[in-house]
Structure 1
Amino acid sequence: MACFPTSQAIVVGGGLGGMSAANTVVENGGRVVLLDKSSFCGGNSTKATSGINGAGTKTQKAKGIPDNAEIFTQDTLKGGAKKPELAKLLCDNSADDVDWLVEKFNLDLSLVARLGGHSQPRTHRGKERFPGMTITYALIQMLEKVAEKTDLARIITKAKVFKLVTEGNVCVGCVYEKGGQNFQEFGPVILASGGFGADFTSNSLLAQYRPDLLHLPTTNGEHCTGDGIKMGEAIGAKTIDLEWVQVHPTGLVKPDDADAKIKFLAAEALRGVGGLILNADGKRFCNELGRRDYVTGEMWKSKPPFRLCLNKAASDEIIWHCKHYTGRGVMKYYSSGEDLAKDMGVDLSVLEQSHEEHYQAAKKTETHPDEGAWPAYPSGKSHDEASGKTGSGKKFFHNILPGSAVRHEPFYVAIITPVIHYCMGGLLIDTDSACVGPNDKAIPGLYAAGEVAGGVHGNNRLGGNSLLDCVVFGRVAGRAAAKYMLGADFKPVDLREVSGGGLTGAVESSKLAGGSYEDKMNSATTAAGAAPMANGGAAGGMTLAEVAKHNSKADCWVVVDGQVLDVTSFLSEHPGGELAILTFAGKDATEEFNMIHPPDVIGKYAPDSVIGNVGSGVAVAAAGGAAKGGAPARKDKGGALSNHHAWGHLDGAQTNWRVDLDENPGVFILNIKSYFNATWFLVLAILYEVCATIFSAKNIKISNDRLGLTRSAILLILFIVIHAVGNLHVFKGPDDFNGYGYFYVRLYWTGFGLPANIVEEYILLSVLLHVFVGLKRTWDMKLALVSSQGVGVLNLAISGLMLLTFMTIHLFQFRFGDTDQFGPYYIRPPPYLINFWGILSLNLFWTDASYVEPVGVRDIYALEFQIFKNPLWSFFYIFSVAVFMVHACLGWKKVTPVLGIPRGHIGKVEIIGYGIMIVMGLVYISFPVYVMATKPFSGYEDGIQTPGRIEQ
């Protein structure tokens, strides 16, 4: 072993996962250095709006909520988690870790709500500000104070980590770039660098695993490019579930910038307090409290634009969210339901009926909760027809409104659209949050926490579990790294003591007197936490009219608490994205700013942006000479398809070739053009998948990656189609059928001396790959769900095993079946594989040219009649073909979304696929039916056959 320091842990990423890990390392007696890619710590965690889950917390107990870790674990498994050990760890630690936040960081998490997919209210948030910002900022402050008072912590921003350093199989540090130079840090590494939901480049993880989502907008900051996952893979860390990217149903559409690629997210709590989702016709169509993937799926089926509507009781419960969204221009206040109906272009009676039906379902649930007519989510029966028809009936109702009250009821309403939100997949971790290597053992010295880690959430994440994931696995990783470093010296300490007394509140100012940030970003701060004003701004101040002129991306001023800020150079560095500031360009943003940020933020992180005060005097020049003159704002056009879908403008949109789906069928009942387009995209996808399978296969790697299933499935479907077409030659008689068999089995020179040809060998490998990956995914991911979701989750596995049994018997009956009893069947094989001169007569696999010597081949025509004359074997074959059709259709539904087909065509591609499977099934079934109903007949070359070859 080379000598390197191990007295510090390295945390990569300054979001909640990284902050939880860093604070926990210190709390357990270790040193830590935190490296963050951005100018400011916080990451996506600061934008979390719903809260953090905890089961069995002190807050819940005080409110009499009967929740515990076991109930939470079951909800999480039902919600999509596939690894019970990680789900259990998440839920078991939830109460202690939420209480840790409250007690160690003096946080207010006194409000508790029920979000979609939860059977109990367990999502905690405070009375003010977004919970993500509140929680993350408190942990940032604590680490800053530790850095001020001690040498236990360092925080380095604008540090882009790009490589992990290894010694043998041990991770011993990392390399990062800052200011154009490369630096190294040594010690165990905790990756907390987030997901890849904002990387839309052609070689991104998103393009590789979910190309069908590239057109969607995202809620992720630009820093989310999957760096940690790529670095981990580079040293052999395994990944899991990278194809599971969560699309959130409630991205907020800003009417004057509808095509923005980065969207604000409507907190799931808005639905938790009673918000209803209405389609363009003003009708409900789903369970608003269902899983995110379910709600999104129902939106694709319904008519946009979609509106999230909160009545007065609901909006009062979460009023500062509503005011914040209204201030940002992504939510609108209506003084009455009548005004809302008019703006939607629907009759008021429609809104009244939608609310009345919801109201009656709630009342019936109060009196007869288990006597509904519809299946409910997560279990039981529901009285709510609107959601019950989708198989996910609503069971929990809150702040309901009778239809008769709609006319005069005030509403807060937002237009919503699906958005890329969260990457469930990432680096596979164990219960110590250690990254798992290629030998299924932990890589020493490498840990992961937060969105960069995979396996925690499975194929869908429940709302409120993201912040919890960051805290729980950040703390698990921090403890494990501290123990790895310190060994016997591992010991807990009090954060409040090492930080010099801790925090007196979540918004206490930190002066960074010791300079924990290497950039000395607070060097201009004053004792009050605000910067001195440039150019004597206080002398006369600036008018709001002057500020209003600076309203573009190239020249952006805003007003906060009477101070004028030039934030032009700060736009690209803002953790919430440019749009969060540009919304208020040239305006007073005080109310909305203070809803989110603690009062010392400007003084700490952007002191140089303050250029003066608002007043009545002459305007002053901005510090730094920013461009003036009000250049027009550039708009991020983003993904036009999703935005046109959100606004209901799919027809006639010519700005993007994927948008022009031509949904008008014209004179036809079916949209012929759209089915033609869908077929074209399907052909392209199949060609790509087949070529990728043959020519781009990498070294064998055993994983849970669905790619092994999808690509082998496509190749097998292609083979099955070709094989079925070939088998149709049985109807032409023994010459054609045996000639086809000879062609298929031998292909002349392609056998390479082996018992089978290269096609058979490749198909066999594909079958083995398909079976092996399918069984492994079932073992790793599906079996754990049987107890919570029933045996239905094993449909593909059960039908697949039945098909494997059939294929084994079928091969022994036909491919290896004995035909010696009939003697060889003689054909004259064409010298160039195909009889080009026989195409019109379809005798493709033999020729009647006398100069071609006859060749004896297996008589599979006779074998077919011998086997299928037995009714039992015929029934077995027909039954197995029916199982194949079911298996293929179930699998096809899972395959189509990952083929890279434009989303608007996926539904039609599914239908086309089902049609192909059914037709292929009927073709295969026709063989035994034909044999049982007819007698064999002689071929054209009967004169050269063995007399009495088969009974006529």
Structure 2
Amino acid sequence: MAQVIVVGGGLAGLSAAHTLLERGANVLLLDKQGFMGGNSTKATSGINGAGTQSQQALGILDNVKTFFEDTKKSARDLARDDLIRVLTGRSGDAVNWLQDRFGLDLSKVSRLGGHSQPRTHRGDAQFPGMVITYAQMERLEDLAVSNPDRVKIVKKARVTKLVKDESGAVIGVEYVHGGNTETAHGPVILATGGYAADFTENSLLKKYRPEYFNLPTTNGDHCTGDGQKLAISIGASGIDLEKVQVHPTGLVDPKDPDAKVKFLAAEALRGVGGLLLDSKGQRFVDELQHRDYVTGKMWENKNHPIRLVLNGRASKDIEWHCKHYVGRGLMKRFDSGEALAKEFGVAPEVLKKTFEDYNQSVRTKKDPFGKKFFQGEWSFNDIFHVAMMTPVLHYTMGGLEIDPESRVLDTNGKPIPGLFAAGEVAGGVHGANRLGGSSLLGCVVFGRVSGDSAAAYLLQAASAAVQKAGGRLSALSGQLGSGAAPAPAAESTPASAAGAGKAPGGEYTMEEVAKHNKKDDVWVVVNGQVLDVTNFLPDHPGGEKAILLYAGRDATEEFNMLHDPKVIPRYAPDAVIGKVKA
């Protein structure tokens, strides 16, 4: 079968690509970044699913109907029911697919804000978004090496135009790669993400939500609404573009409090029992309410800074996250209530009363802020993890209007032939407010739906070609069978396949490594190897700051918390310049 062009290498694009391959189609994946993954790798809470194998094993009585109702309520009845049915109805199958096909551990299930049942899945270690995305990314890159006739990946390829034929069908794209403009042919799946970092001259954010334009964001600088703008320029319909989600818990770096890009505090931290306290050490909101509600209460409260506090039990339940945030200097640990009160600048009796009042709510299930789900009582004699919070631009619910088959609709409500959309680029799924845990879910569900639809579209096009040619087999040349898809003029191969990185050479003392600690000259040490990561900074999916924090230092512990050891030889072999001198 001929190729489908997938634009975007985040989880939505990867899920679409794997589904296309399962359906027999060939894939050309074009990614704007030098390192695939997008914002999907940053997702910290997990992926939703109703009626999953993991829920059944834990005795959680959840179902699609309940998930549908929770989603519709969160959306303020502003999302499309047909799209919610797809999202929730295929959610259990999506989670099971990830576990069965990619061997992922998604056995832990928690309850996030706005959910009436625990349904957000993650494993024991690492950020679930990173684990899920890396598994698909590595599988696809391996296939690009073992079966290049079926899979081609081009990184640092910026799509500039959707190509249409005389009938108005999308038949390909133009893209810029290595300074050259290339053309690729085939139906197109857009999976380019949202526009919550769209601070460009023609910003969708500024056009539709100018009051949010100066807020910090959790998004990488690639999230500038490229797919939305490309499709709207050829007649696609945009929907809910004014619906932009501000997440209540962005982590404030005490060393750089005004940073434009902020790291997200996983909603799971509140899901395991974390409390939001103002500068007077008092609660002011149900921590498990919808994101927009919590954000509004934070803005209403004039006693800043707002802090998220976890007690010992909650810290243990989400230990990996706490260790990661502490390592990045975004969270502090305190070994007593007295030390915590000192951090707040209040008398110990103030926090004792806050905890006593909360414990009364736990016992009576009557909370002054309306909280319904609790994780046990609090003790003043405990350990605590604490971080300062601020609302941040996080997710754009608006995007391209699609139908339940992920086909992009035009301004007359009709599908544009050959054009599909999946993930955050598509609108109408989440209405006014997205539930936590549904971003990864939307990527996987609609990635798979778009893959199914694009493969069916190819098959229909091939069938039409046969009929038009009177059944001559020659009409299928280059479209069916085992023939290779049209090759792009310039393509990118995974580093592991390229075979050759620099052979580790010299030996360096830690004193010498420490001298290379600036943005234009960055060395780090990982597992005894010295890496020059200066050129890799722009491509790091976690942002430059994640690397610069360890510039000139040994980053082994933090690296091993987040990554599999094969990441370096696969994605950055040329960065290895030697080893640490004993």
Q: Which moves more between the two structures, 85-94 or 344-353?
A: 344-353
Corresponding residue of 1:113: 110
The reply on whether 1:165 has 2:163 as its aligned counterpart is yes
SS at match of 2:495: coil
Is contact 1:525–1:607 with CA below 8 Å preserved after alignment? no
Corresponding residue of 1:79: 74
- The Cα shift of 1:614 comes to 1.7
Is contact 1:564–1:612 with CA below 8 Å preserved after alignment? yes
- The Cα shift of 1:516 comes to 13
Q: Compared with structure 1, are the counterparts of its residues 214 and 461 closer, same or farther at alpha carbon in structure 2 (3 Å cutoff)?
A: same
Is contact 1:280–1:306 with CA below 8 Å preserved after alignment? yes
Is contact 2:530–2:579 with CA below 8 Å preserved after alignment? yes
Is contact 2:193–2:423 with CA below 8 Å preserved after alignment? yes
- The Cα shift of 1:446 comes to 0.4
5+ residue gaps, structure 2: 464-487
- The Cα shift of 1:201 comes to 2.6
Is contact 1:154–1:517 with CA below 8 Å preserved after alignment? no
- The Cα shift of 1:551 comes to 1.6
Counterpart pick for 1:451 among 417, 424, 431:
424
Corresponding residue of 1:122: 119
Corresponding residue of 1:338: 338
CA–CA distance in 2 between the matches of 1:468 and 1:37?
Answer: 22
The reply on whether 1:134 has 2:151 as its aligned counterpart is no
Corresponding residue of 1:52: 47
Corresponding residue of 1:557: 523
Corresponding residue of 2:552: 586
CA–CA distance in 1 between the matches of 2:490 and 2:264?
Answer: 30
Counterpart pick for 1:384 among 367, 371, 379:
367
Corresponding residue of 2:205: 206
CA–CA distance in 1 between the matches of 2:16 and 2:502?
Answer: 32
Corresponding residue of 2:503: 532
CA–CA distance in 2 between the matches of 1:436 and 1:463?
Answer: 27
- The Cα shift of 1:588 comes to 1.6
Give the aligned residue type for 1:166: K
- The Cα shift of 1:184 comes to 0.8
CA–CA distance in 1 between the matches of 2:489 and 2:549?
Answer: 32
SS at match of 2:279: coil
Q: Compared with structure 1, are the counterparts of its residues 194 and 280 closer, same or farther at alpha carbon in structure 2 (3 Å cutoff)?
A: same
Corresponding residue of 1:309: 309
CA–CA distance in 2 between the matches of 1:311 and 1:418?
Answer: 22
Q: How does 1:741-752 map to 2 (within 5 A)?
A: none
Is contact 1:11–1:18 with CA below 8 Å preserved after alignment? yes
- The Cα shift of 1:566 comes to 1.2
Corresponding residue of 2:438: 465
Give the aligned residue type for 1:73: F
Is contact 2:113–2:288 with CA below 8 Å preserved after alignment? yes
Counterpart pick for 1:394 among 367, 371, 379:
371
CA–CA distance in 1 between the matches of 2:498 and 2:234?
Answer: 42
Counterpart pick for 1:155 among 150, 153, 176:
153
1:866-919 deviations in Å (ceiling 9; x for gaps)? xxxxxxxxxxxxxxxxxxxxxxxxxxxxxxxxxxxxxxxxxxxxxxxxxxxxxx
Corresponding residue of 1:15: 10
CA–CA distance in 1 between the matches of 2:312 and 2:489?
Answer: 46
CA–CA distance in 2 between the matches of 1:336 and 1:551?
Answer: 36
Is contact 2:308–2:387 with CA below 8 Å preserved after alignment? yes
CA–CA distance in 2 between the matches of 1:439 and 1:200?
Answer: 30
Corresponding residue of 1:548: 514
Corresponding residue of 1:650: none
CA–CA distance in 2 between the matches of 1:300 and 1:202?
Answer: 28
Give the aligned residue type for 1:292: R
SS at match of 1:265: coil
Is contact 2:191–2:423 with CA below 8 Å preserved after alignment? yes
Corresponding residue of 1:176: 175
CA–CA distance in 1 between the matches of 2:373 and 2:104?
Answer: 29
- The Cα shift of 1:519 comes to 3.0
- The Cα shift of 1:518 comes to 2.4
- The Cα shift of 1:313 comes to 0.3
The reply on whether 1:479 has 2:452 as its aligned counterpart is yes
Is contact 1:524–1:531 with CA below 8 Å preserved after alignment? no
SS at match of 1:611: strand
Give the aligned residue type for 1:59: S
Q: Compared with structure 1, are the counterparts of its residues 205 and 488 closer, same or farther at alpha carbon in structure 2 (3 Å cutoff)?
A: closer
CA–CA distance in 2 between the matches of 1:410 and 1:543?
Answer: 38
1:308-357 deviations in Å (ceiling 9; x for gaps)? 11111001011011001110111111111211111211111111111221
Corresponding residue of 1:424: 397
Counterpart pick for 1:68 among 63, 67, 70:
63
5+ residue gaps, structure 1: 1-5, 366-382, 388-392, 491-514, 617-952
The reply on whether 1:43 has 2:38 as its aligned counterpart is yes
Corresponding residue of 1:187: 186
CA–CA distance in 2 between the matches of 1:579 and 1:481?
Answer: 38
- The Cα shift of 1:545 comes to 2.5
Give the aligned residue type for 1:157: K
Give the aligned residue type for 1:143: L
Q: How does 1:718-729 map to 2 (within 5 A)?
A: none
Give the aligned residue type for 1:556: V
Q: Compared with structure 1, are the counterparts of its residues 563 and 525 closer, same or farther at alpha carbon in structure 2 (3 Å cutoff)?
A: farther
Corresponding residue of 1:519: 492
Identify, as 1 or 2, the structure richer in helix. Answer: 1
SS at match of 1:608: helix
Is contact 2:528–2:580 with CA below 8 Å preserved after alignment? yes
1:621-660 deviations in Å (ceiling 9; x for gaps)? xxxxxxxxxxxxxxxxxxxxxxxxxxxxxxxxxxxxxxxx
Q: Compared with structure 1, are the counterparts of its residues 350 and 526 closer, same or farther at alpha carbon in structure 2 (3 Å cutoff)?
A: farther
Q: How does 1:570-585 map to 2 (within 5 A)?
A: 570-585=536-551
CA–CA distance in 2 between the matches of 1:10 and 1:438?
Answer: 23
CA–CA distance in 1 between the matches of 2:42 and 2:543?
Answer: 10
SS at match of 1:257: coil
1:783-834 deviations in Å (ceiling 9; x for gaps)? xxxxxxxxxxxxxxxxxxxxxxxxxxxxxxxxxxxxxxxxxxxxxxxxxxxx
- The Cα shift of 1:149 comes to 2.4
CA–CA distance in 2 between the matches of 1:456 and 1:524?
Answer: 38
Q: Compared with structure 1, are the counterparts of its residues 451 and 524 closer, same or farther at alpha carbon in structure 2 (3 Å cutoff)?
A: closer
1:683-723 deviations in Å (ceiling 9; x for gaps)? xxxxxxxxxxxxxxxxxxxxxxxxxxxxxxxxxxxxxxxxx
For CA contacts below 8 A with separation 6 or more, give which structure has more relative contact order.
2
Q: CA RMSD in A?
A: 1.9
CA–CA distance in 2 between the matches of 1:525 and 1:32?
Answer: 20
Is contact 2:402–2:421 with CA below 8 Å preserved after alignment? yes
Is contact 2:286–2:294 with CA below 8 Å preserved after alignment? yes
CA–CA distance in 2 between the matches of 1:424 and 1:200?
Answer: 17
- The Cα shift of 1:524 comes to 8.4
Q: TM-score, normalised by structure 1?
A: 0.57
Q: Compared with structure 1, are the counterparts of its residues 202 and 147 closer, same or farther at alpha carbon in structure 2 (3 Å cutoff)?
A: closer
1:256-290 deviations in Å (ceiling 9; x for gaps)? 11111111111110110111111111111001111
SS at match of 2:434: coil
Q: Compared with structure 1, are the counterparts of its residues 489 and 597 closer, same or farther at alpha carbon in structure 2 (3 Å cutoff)?
A: farther
CA–CA distance in 1 between the matches of 2:388 and 2:515?
Answer: 29
- The Cα shift of 1:563 comes to 1.2
Corresponding residue of 1:601: 567
Q: How does 1:835-874 map to 2 (within 5 A)?
A: none
- The Cα shift of 1:531 comes to 5.4
Is contact 1:175–1:185 with CA below 8 Å preserved after alignment? yes
Is contact 2:200–2:224 with CA below 8 Å preserved after alignment? no
Is contact 2:10–2:39 with CA below 8 Å preserved after alignment? yes
- The Cα shift of 1:25 comes to 0.5
Is contact 1:30–1:486 with CA below 8 Å preserved after alignment? no
Q: Compared with structure 1, are the counterparts of its residues 34 and 488 closer, same or farther at alpha carbon in structure 2 (3 Å cutoff)?
A: closer
Counterpart pick for 2:578 among 606, 612, 631:
612
1:111-164 deviations in Å (ceiling 9; x for gaps)? 100000000000000111110010011111221222222221111101000110
SS at match of 1:277: strand
Identity within the alignment, %: 59
Corresponding residue of 1:291: 290
Corresponding residue of 1:236: 235
Corresponding residue of 1:249: 248
Is contact 1:9–1:31 with CA below 8 Å preserved after alignment? yes
SS at match of 1:324: helix
CA–CA distance in 2 between the matches of 1:524 and 1:443?
Answer: 37
